Amino acid sequence: MPVATPKQFAQMLDAAQKGNYAYPAVNCSSINTINAALKGFAESKSDGFIQFSTGAGQFASGLQNNDATSGCILLAEVAHRLAEQYNVVIALNTDHCQPNKAEEFLKPLIEETARRRARGESNLFQNHMLDASALPLAENMALSQEYLKLCAQHEIILEVEAGVVGGEEDGAAGTEDMPAEKMYTSPEDMVAVHEALQGLGRFTFAATFGNVHGHYKPGAVKLRPEILKQGQEAVMSRYGPEAEFDLVFHGGSGSDLSQIRETLEYGVIKMNIDTDTQYVFTRPIADHMLKNYDSVMMIDGEIGSKKLYDPRSYLKKAEEAMSVRVARGCDDLRSTGNTLFGQI
């Protein structure tokens, strides 16, 4: 089916919240990675997110252009066409966008959706992330209010963040001297987020509970999922069950399965797995090159093997490996078998 309409996307989020499952969110930067994500979702009979960072947009736009906005438009258009081949529901999102990039990145993408809607077409993106978490909370919420209102005009759901995710991901990074408490969103901050944004439009919320971008050795990351529980309880005790957040888990790669599953009980409906999918995509390529070195390189006057240095020979292996990891993400998050395709 085509990429989700705004109504279908809202139904996806509602179904995950009601069913205590979440969707893998897969960062993509090429046709190969989009195909891998779609195959993984389809084989799991799971709906899911495909998302693009500013860095992915720059990469996809070409060496001469190097423009994040045009690259993300290109990737989204490709995803719309490819998604038509699959019997699952796909939502498109843009990942971390810092305040200094919002004017030149988010606004043109929202305007592109507005142009599509004026032609009677569906949204280019269903979801955008504004990551103003490095700002003081009051400034973060003021900017989030501006973009939430803008998104709501076009039935786009905005993802916001309060608290800082550690590690580094395509320009989104915590600082080495960041106080430890910044990695844990307090219940008071979660209440403040609700009070600032409620009624302006639908949004999802990346609250932090010690999560980090990237891979770390066992024991290096101190996740505290109970932070999410405490924050949800603080908000709902004051404003009722309807105030429950749709939460987003950033830095999900490498996390302990029991803690992943625990977050589902506290309202997480989306988890990002970019680091894992990058690694599994690259591993078969490295294996192919190391095993076939004499064939992919023209050494000592030899001619190599065209079949083995043809990029298709190793990129398809990479696609397959990535699709398997996406499917595992669906299993971890209990979205397997829960597609809304044919029901909405």
Determine contact, residues 168/219, Cβ cutoff 8 Å: no
Pick from 274, 290, 269, 288: which is nearest to 322 by CA? 274
- Please give the C-alpha separations between residue 322 and each of 38, 42, 297, 325, in angstroms, as whole numbers: 10, 13, 26, 5
Determine contact, residues 251/276, Cβ cutoff 8 Å: no
DSSP state of 309: H
- Please give the C-alpha separations between residue 90 and each of 28, 81, 175, 215, 340, in angstroms, as whole numbers: 13, 12, 34, 26, 10
Catalytic-residue membership of 95? yes
Determine contact, residues 63/110, Cβ cutoff 8 Å: no
- Please give the C-alpha separations between residue 81 and each of 43, 182, 257, 326, 328, in angstroms, as whole numbers: 18, 41, 34, 20, 25
Determine contact, residues 55/68, Cβ cutoff 8 Å: yes
- Tell me the pairing of strands 48-52 and 168-169: unpaired
Out of 67, 95, 189, 246, pick the active-site residue: 95
Active-site residue list: 95
